[in-house]
Structure formats: structure tokens, C-alpha cells
Structure 1
């Protein structure tokens, strides 16, 4: 699983959709369950593929519409790593950063108190307070020598 991220259930995500005026259909419940329980960063097409295995009546447009509303309401975060497709994760967890494997596309979540302190120190030295930030590292596995 992720570095310090707590996986929530679908209840909070359902509430966000209801507040936005969307019905909580069986298809949307499947999408929300996959998003809340995945522990990864799927793109819309991956969500669609997983969801359609559970319910073939799910359309790609339902996935896109659902993700758009959840993002607009701050319930999920959208990441676009190195120009790839937008990937999603619930916004309900502890802050973490990402390391993206350039060979496989795998997204590895991590948290470093040392990095967090250094960012705060740098901002303070420059006269700023950090309001938000993202750190994305891109790498390849080192060869075994």
C-alpha cells in the first residue's frame, strides 16, 4: 500500500456525488469501490477496464463524468506524470510524494520528513510559507552490479 495513506471507503465519495446532484447508480458504486480500494493511481481507461469486468454496462463516459465531478469537488487528486494520461487517487490521505518508474510507469508513494523539513526551511529562507506542493521523482531501477 502507500506511504501513510489511509484508504477510505466509498461513502465519502458517494456523498460528494450526491451533493453534486448525481445519482448513485450501480455503475458509479463499482467505479467508486475500485477507486477507493485500489491503492494505486489508475487512469480513466484502467478504471473503465476494471469496472467493466464487474459490470459490462459501465461506459467510459460515466467514468470520465464521475472523475470530473470528484476532482472538481476535491475528493480525488488528478496527476499527470511526464505527459502520460491523467491518473487519479483519493484525496483523503496523508500528504505523500511520488516516484515514477520510467520503465514500467509504476507510481511509488513515499513520505520523507527530511524532505518536508527541507522544503519548509527553503520557503522560510525565501520569505514564504508553503500552502501546497507536489514532489514527483522520475527514475529507472539501478542495475544489479
Structure 2
């Protein structure tokens, strides 16, 4: 398996784009951070290392990372596009708190098998899927006085 830097460099070359120091820094920071990052979140971190990098550069680089297969856009229903690391990571689904926005990545083999079976029963072969489960996390339920 290629290293992410090589994957991104190869992708940029195919698009006749250069691996600039700004893109390299954004890539390095994105790969270091865990979780689901909005472009604004990544921009805030990048600014600590290089104040000359603009928000548009971060946004465009995230798009390139997504197109190259290193990142994946995720949308949790709140109008914010976030990005998570895709390359080298296995498929997973998400559970999202509607109150605080906490999002967890989860894997359940039984659910995966059911999705495959459901597709097959309807004559489909899955090429991909996304599943988002919404609710209230334990912390938010406690704050509201629930269980």
C-alpha cells in the first residue's frame, strides 16, 4: 500500500498540479488529526503553523484530498461538510448526537450483512453505502434529565 503522500503526489501529477509547501502542510495536519474535520476546523489548526495560508487554500486542498481518495466528505445533517480520513481505513457508519453534534464511527458486521442481503433481495449489488444514526448521546440525555 502506498504512503498517503505518494498517493496525493501522484494524484496531483495526473491533474497537472504541483505539490506546494502549503498543500503538503495541509496534508500532514489532516493526516495527524483524528475525527471529522470541517474545513474551518482544519484552517484554524493550519493557521497556527503558517499564517499565510488562506481558508480557500485549505478548502480547495480538502477537495483535492477527497478526489484523490485520501479523504471522504461526511454530512451529519447540520449543514456542515466534514472530512475524515478514508485511505487505509475500513468502512464504517456514524452515530450522531442531535444535541451536541458528537459523531462516533461504528462498525457492526451484522448490520453490514443485513445491508448486503437487503440489496441482494432487491437485485442490487452494493458499490457503497453510508448509514447515519441520529439520537441523543448519554451526556446530553443526562443534561436533559433523561436516562
Structure 1 or 2: larger helix share?
2
Using the size of structure 1 for normalisation, the TM-score is: 0.83
Tell me the distance in 2 between the aligned counterparts of 1:9 and 1:73. 10
Within 5 Å, which residues of 2 pair with 1:77-92? 77-92=72-87
Runs of 4 or more off by more than 6 Å in structure 1? none
Tell me the distance in 1 between the aligned counterparts of 2:26 and 2:102. 21
Alignment RMSD, CA only? 1.9
Q: Secondary structure at the match of 2:37?
A: coil
Using the size of structure 2 for normalisation, the TM-score is: 0.82
Choose which of 103, 107, 111 in structure 1 pairs with 2:107: 111
Shift of 1:9: 4.5
Q: Which has the larger radius of gyration?
A: 2
Which structure carries more relative contact order (alpha carbon 8 Å, separation 6+)?
1
Shift of 1:82: 0.4
CA contact (8 A) 1:17 1:70 kept: no
Q: Secondary structure at the match of 1:49?
A: helix
Shift of 1:75: 3.1
Q: Which runs of 5+ in 1 are unaligned?
A: 1-7
Which string of whole-angstrom CA distances, capped at 9 and with x for unpartnered residues, describes residues 60-110 of structure 1? 111122122222333321112104211112221111111112222222111
| Aligned twin of 2:29 | 34
CA contact (8 A) 1:9 1:33 kept: no
- Does 2:48 correspond to 1:53? yes
CA contact (8 A) 2:36 2:83 kept: yes
Q: Which runs of 5+ in 2 are unaligned?
A: none
